[in-house]
Amino acid sequence: MKGQIFISASTFAKHGDQPLKLLDRSGLSYRINSLGRRLTADELMDMGGDCEGAIAGLEPFNSQVIESMPKLKCISRLGVGIDNIDLDKAKQRGIAVRNTPDVVSQPVAELTVGFAFDLLKRVSVQTASLKAGRWEKKTGNLLSEQTFGIIGLGRIGRRTAELIRSLGAKVYGCDIAPDLDWAKQAGVKIIALDQLLLACDIVSIHITFREDAPFVLGKKEISSMKKGAMLINVARGQFVDENALYDALKDGHLAGAGLDVFGQEPYKGKLCDIENIVLTPHVATLTKESRIQMELEATQNLIRFFETNK
């Protein structure tokens, strides 16, 4: 099988070489991003200009990048989101785009639950206090006694709802096209977004990016949230106005927040300076098990494409 593959994802095969073995057996030749970090558009064009296929992470496959790759036939994305790819340009060029939506559900849902426990039990706050030499006990709350709101009931949102419900919490959800049969079976009450923000003790964002339906929790939406509520975002950084969130945390309107994603990454902003927030560097899907499976599926997607389109 012919085909020059560029693996632009920065951590590919870091946790296991099974995906590389798949490529070796397929007969596809490949080279890997050697910089060990997310590539810029210029670096993508320089390193991947002659590739026929790409295994991509969050690198910017914008119009200019795609145009600079005249042989490119398929982009196989690690993960579910494909908003880093100019889909219109890909369609215009006849470039296939694949992703791995199922494998990310469990790790992202687990981090969401982890954020909720950390915030409710004040784990990070009390750890920092103890390490600073202070023996200070802060009262927490039970997750089972909270009303948990989920914005976006796709694969990840549904899995999160199932985990939260199994822990005894009441779960509300909103979605532009909710699966009412699933919601009834899972015990999730479907309500409008404004009602969810007003009613819930914890609100978690799990929607996908859509150009035709832009979404952001801004000052108005955050101000409408229940006083003392908490906000979790493991979806996309642009879904939350970070300045409005900072103000709400500083003035006590919100009791806490957990963020894995940011408008600008790497993040070095003022949210790092406040106590009542838990921050992680975009690692929701970064578990050994899920990364290996994600890389295997992305590699299989690419191999199948070239087998089918010889």
Structure tokens belonging to residue 161:
């709802």
Tell me: do 158 and 253 sit in the same domain. yes
Tell me: do 225 and 298 sit in the same domain. no
Tell me: do 135 and 247 sit in the same domain. yes
> 77 or 208, which is more confident?
77
Tell me the average pLDDT across 34-43. Answer: 91
Give pLDDT, residue 208: 86
Which residue in 265, 275, 289, 307 is the catalytic one? Answer: 265
Tell me: do 18 and 124 sit in the same domain. no
Residue in this structure with the two tokens 């009441």, named with its chain if needed? 170
Tell me: do 55 and 74 sit in the same domain. yes
- Model confidence band, residue 18 (pLDDT cutoffs 50, 70, 90): very high
Tell me: do 76 and 150 sit in the same domain. no
Tell me: do 113 and 237 sit in the same domain. yes
The SS3 call for residue 175 is coil
Give pLDDT, residue 210: 78
Domains in the chain, number: 2
Tell me the average pLDDT across 264-288. Answer: 95
Least confident of 59-68, 154-163, 205-214, 260-269: 205-214
Give pLDDT, residue 1: 45
Are 298 and 100 a contacting pair, CB within 8 Å?
yes
Which residues constitute the domain of residue 61?
4-103+288-308
Whether 280 shows a pLDDT value over 60: the answer reads yes
Residue in this structure with the two tokens 């799990």, named with its chain if needed? 206
Phi-psi label, residue 122: left if phi above 0, alpha if psi -120 to 50, beta otherwise: left
Tell me: do 95 and 240 sit in the same domain. no
pLDDT tens sequence across 92-107 = 999 999 999 889 999 9
pLDDT tens sequence across 204-255 = 999 988 777 789 999 999 999 999 999 999 999 999 999 999 999 999 999 9
Going by the DSSP 8-state scheme, the letter that residue 38 receives in this structure is P
Q: Which sign, positive or negative, has the C-alpha torsion 163, 166, 167, 169?
A: positive
Are 217 and 241 a contacting pair, CB within 8 Å?
yes
Mean of pLDDT over the chain = 94
d(CA 85, CA 58): 9
Range among 21-35, 113-127, 205-219 with highest mean pLDDT value: 113-127
25 flagged as catalytic? no
Tell me: do 274 and 293 sit in the same domain. no
pTM summary value: 0.86
pLDDT tens sequence across 161-181 = 999 999 999 999 999 999 999
> 36 or 299, which is more confident?
299
Whether 81 shows a pLDDT value over 90: the answer reads no
Going by the DSSP 8-state scheme, the letter that residue 16 receives in this structure is -
Burial of residue 137 (CB within 10 Å: 0-12, 13-18, 19+) is exposed
265 flagged as catalytic? yes
Give pLDDT, residue 309: 80
Tell me the average pLDDT across 293-308. Answer: 94
Tell me: do 160 and 259 sit in the same domain. yes
Question: Which residues 6+ apart lie within 8 Å of 260 measured at CB?
Answer: 111, 115, 233, 234, 279, 280, 281, 282, 283, 284
Whether 2 shows a pLDDT value over 90: the answer reads no
Tell me: do 37 and 172 sit in the same domain. no
Which CATH number goes with the domain that contains 58? 3.40.50.720
Tell me: do 260 and 303 sit in the same domain. no
Which residue in 98, 122, 159, 236 is the catalytic one? Answer: 236
206 flagged as catalytic? no
Structure tokens belonging to residue 253:
């309107």
